[in-house]
Every structure is written in structure tokens, then in C-alpha cells.
Structure 1
Amino acid sequence: MGYNVAIDGPAGAGKSTIAKLVAKEKGYIYVDTGAMYRGLAIHFLKKGVSADDKEAVAAACRDAEVTIGYEDGIQQVYLNGENVTSMLRTEEVGNMASRTSAIPAVREKLLELQRSLARTQDVIMDGRDIGTNILPDADVKIYLTASVETRAKRRYDELREKGEACDLESIAHDIRERDERDMTREIAPLKQAEDAVLVDSSDMTIQEVVDKICSYCK
């Protein structure tokens, strides 16, 4: 039986960054759901399925197995036993993943694969509905958040570092709107699970957040 850690929270809370660091510290598998969508996209492309043909996409899901593993500390994605990591970042795969990710059959397939992985491996997953929907029986549930101002400033600094022009106020406005969308969406809205530990990282360093979450884990 796998040991499961679920991290949920709003956009810009640093979930992926923290989850990857906790995974490294504790020896868990970080489940990159985006990479899993791309793995399925490769399967559809190999089968010559059109992203517009929802029935064909649903049928193609039946014989696809996407798993995640690590070699020399680097994440690898396998499709039906074949390592497809080198193909994940192509434009064609990205477009197919983007177009098929909204199809219910694809989401259901990934849900099944993610839960299957969690049953057999020690995993950490982050998202909007991991503790409430995907892994409701996770051993540790964290709701990671930070104030809108803190999240906007982090995003602002990140964009400035890349040399992109940006406005702090408009970033904060976008974050508020996204929070509202995520929390009121019909399917699996963002909310803190009843048994989740609230971690507010507004005044914490990355290492402090990692240490705090690790303290709740085995």
C-alpha cells in the first residue's frame, strides 16, 4: 500500500515547487499530472486519433497505461512500458494534450491511473482537488495558500526576472479572478478538505514550508 501526500491550494501558492522538494527529501514519487496528460497525448498520436473525435479518443484510452518513475533522480514517463520522456515536450504533443485534456474520458482515465499509482507507490500530488477528489484517503493532506498580495508579488518578480513587462495590480486582479473561478467551478472546485492542515506560506521561506510539511509525513 502506498503512502500518499496531497497538496491543494490556489494558483501561485508554490504547490509544485514545494511538492517536488518534499518528494526529494522524503523519497516519494512526485506525480506530475501535466506530464501524464502528455503521455496519453502520445498514445493518441501513435494511434492516429483526431482530438476532435471524442469517441475515438475515449476508445483509445482503454489500452493506454501511463506511469511515472525515476532514473538517477530524474522523472521518467512510460507509456505502455515504453519510456516516452524525450517526446513529451514537442509542440505536436503539447497541442494534442491541450485539446484532449478537457474530454471527460481522458480525465477519468488519468484519475484511474493516478489512483493506481498511489495504491502501489509512495506519492505526493499537488493540484486543486487532490485531497477532496483524487486522493480522498491520503495519509497527509495539506492546503497550501498565501495572501493574494504575496502570490502576486512572487509572480511579478518571476516575470520581471525573465525580462517581461508586467503590472503588479493587474497580476493581483487576475489571481483574485482565478481564485473565484477555481472555487466556484462545477466539477471538483478548489476547497480545503476537512482533514487538511492549513499552511499559509505568506511569511515563510520555501525551506520553512518544506520542513513544516515534512514534519507531518512519515
Structure 2
Amino acid sequence: MTAILPEHVPVITIDGPTASGKGTVAHRVAKALGWSVLDSGALYRLTALAALRRGVPADDEPAVARVAQALDVRFDGPHVYLDGAEASHDIRREEVGNFASRVAAFPGVRQALLERQRVFRQPPGLVADGRDMGTVVFPDAVLKVFLVADVVARAERRRKQLIEKGISANLDDLLRDMRERDARDTQRAAAPLAPAPDARILDSSNLTIAETVQAILDFWREAGAGAA
């Protein structure tokens, strides 16, 4: 049997700002298609968590890049492990998310994680979510989706997620943090958050998760990519 080259494995990218729902949606789209999933944001959060644990300051690009290069991580379904220990809960802390947003602007950190992300491209297909999946990591993706939502709707979603995890959350604080992250993500010099020229823009402000997933599956069918 002839091996399938990575570049021939179909990819759906789902990019968008923080708390736009892309992680949950990506997992559900991948499950519907029987594909694997890449949560690229988790890699940046894991880098942030590892740096915080080592006392590395967020403004030390070379040191954070070294942490990213040596990252000892493992993904097992919904579970994420850092240095052999479960880290799924810790990487969702707001402190870690803010640190990740800051260091994600560093070209050295992004380069350190680039090839690590591309390794996830395995048959039969990959759904990759993040901020530069369609523009930098998988520019040849068959379908690129840019998921947007009103910032207030995103803050409400994040607050609900945190409360469900037993983490206290203040809506005003979340709104402020989210607007700051949006500004950093869209204005950074390295791989700024922006839709690819050929991306499908999907506003999920008034859509349920199920409706958002269905819209993306419809995009996939419209692209005639099901036979890829």
C-alpha cells in the first residue's frame, strides 16, 4: 500500500479570536468526519505554563522560545500532559491565557512551534484550530474557516466555561482582557490574527455550537472536498 504524503492529507482550518468557540467546534467537526484535531492554542498555553513554572518572564523572547523548543507534551483525547502530568485544567487559567497571548507575538516562539503543529497532519484528515492555521501553518488547507463572534458574546461564553470548571470569573474583567488580547493578536508583527484571503467567514454570535458545526460541515460538502 502506498503511503499518503502529508501534503495530500486534507485539512480544515478554523481560525478566530479568543473564546469564539473554535476549539469546541473543531473537536465536533473532527469527530463528525472521523479526523484528528489540533488545538494549537493548547501548545501556546502549554508553553506559557511551562515558562511560568520555570520563572521565565513573559518579555524574555529567547528564553520562552527555548521553553517552546523543549516542550514535553502529550495529547490523549481531551487530556493534555506537560512533563508527564495532567495539565488540562491549568492551561485554561486566565493567567496562563494572558501569558500565552503575550508570548505568541514572538517570532522565535511561533517558529519553535511551527513544525510541531504540522506533524499533526495525519490521515485521514485534520481539523486545526488557532489564529494562523489557514494563513501560516496550513496555507494549502482545502477549507479555511474564520470564526468570529461579538466580543460581549465571547466574554459571556468564557465566563460560563470558567464557572462550569469551578473558576470564579468577572464579566467586566473578562471583557477587558479579551479586548486587550484581540488587540495584541491582530496588531502583532508575526502572524497577526486575520482571515486568509480564501477563508469562509462565519459569525457564530447567534448560533449554537451544533449550528456552527453544521455550517462548517456544509462548507466542506460545498467545497466538494469529501472525496479528497
Q: Do they fold alike, i.e. is TM over 0.5?
A: yes
1:176 matched to 2:179? The reply is yes
1:204 matched to 2:207? The reply is yes
Q: Match for 2:127 among 124, 128, 147?
A: 124
Return 5+ residue gaps in structure 2 as ranges: 1-7, 49-55, 90-98, 221-225
In the other structure, the counterpart of 1:24 is: 31
Matches within 5 A, 1:111-190: 111-118=114-121, 122-161=125-164, 162=166, 164-167=168-171, 169-190=172-193
Shift of 1:38: 8.9
CA RMSD of aligned residues (A): 4.3
Question: Quick check: 1:152–1:175 contact (8 Å CA) kept in 2?
Answer: yes
Aligned residues with identical type, % of pairs:
39
In the other structure, the counterpart of 1:45 is: none
Q: Normalised by the size of structure 1, how large is the TM-score?
A: 0.69
Equivalent pairs, count: 201
1:3 matched to 2:6? The reply is no
Question: Quick check: 1:31–1:125 contact (8 Å CA) kept in 2?
Answer: yes
Q: Return closer, same or farther for 1:114/1:160 CA change in 2, 3 Å cut-off.
A: closer
Task: Write the deviation string for residues 48-100 of structure 1: whole angstroms up to 9, x where unpaired.
Answer: xxx79x59x86x959x99886x7xxx3688xxxxx989545399xxxxxx89x
Q: What amino acid does structure 2 have at the position aligned with 1:31?
A: L
In the other structure, the counterpart of 1:95 is: none
Shift of 1:184: 0.4
Task: Write the deviation string for residues 100-148 of structure 1: whole angstroms up to 9, x where unpaired.
Answer: x777555424312322432765111111111111111111100001111
Return 5+ residue gaps in structure 1 as ranges: 42-50, 78-82, 92-97
Partners of 2:173 and 2:112 lie apart in 1 by 37
Question: Quick check: 2:16–2:130 contact (8 Å CA) kept in 1?
Answer: yes
Q: Normalised by the size of structure 2, how large is the TM-score?
A: 0.67
